[in-house]
Structure 1
């Protein structure tokens, strides 16, 4: 599959398929799935998902990268990663010699809202239909190594992800592409 451990960021708006893909990818690489929403639930179970708490969860996920790589495993990070500060945390915690791939998950508002309505238990308890729709409409796409249409079949999505693992990320462009 991959010749050495790598870091793969699965980014995109809510309900775009990142978490499902992250769990699959971590088992495929092999690696560890660092799901930022789940990390937030684990470290602050009573959180109201305020910005301060979300910032902490993103920081914990970013700081977990090096220990994961040091164990010979890949890290699959999963969350929106729309803000520059979160992107910078990732880049500054990935060694220069470690491959970093960012896969952006594309989804339409209609499909995201349908997924949100039918979603089973999920850690992102602060979401509402209005927030989901807004985040889908305003997501800053374009600076990752690949964009995956998450409305394709599971097999097609997985094939696109695997093909994207060889693409080199422009780390500065990705950070600057955040909001």
Structure 2
């Protein structure tokens, strides 16, 4: 009789996480307003069927689940970068002026350009968040030693306060328009 050694490969943490995410996505895909089964999910992924349930899963639910997973991954990466940059395990977007910059840009856009559409407001908020972050990074790197976590957090706090005060002033003046 011959002895055969078989090496079992383990997937590791990344493989286990991927399997878990796909399993949860499959379960979430099943439990919604319309009744779906594992068979429907199988048809969505591996056949070209055109039934109503299959089309609904393929055209509506699947893209939303994939988008949700990608957004979650992007948020995880950005949070990890922020925590690493500030060396603070409790770091959040408010530390670097992102939230306040977006909020200030929102108030400015709604006050000065009240008929701006949804997309225009979103672009303004993105520009405000990016602008607040650039200012914080610039103020944090002004000194000779470059960026330090302490200077970064202090600059972020100062810019956040400034942007919030600007938003408050805009709110006060927009409530009582001059006639």
Superposed pair shares fold, TM > 0.5? no
Using structure 2 for the length normalisation, give the TM-score. Answer: 0.23
Structure having the higher helix fraction is 2
Structure having the higher strand fraction is 1
Pick 1 or 2: higher relative contact order, CA cutoff 8 A, min separation 6: 1
Which structure has the bigger radius of gyration?
A: 2
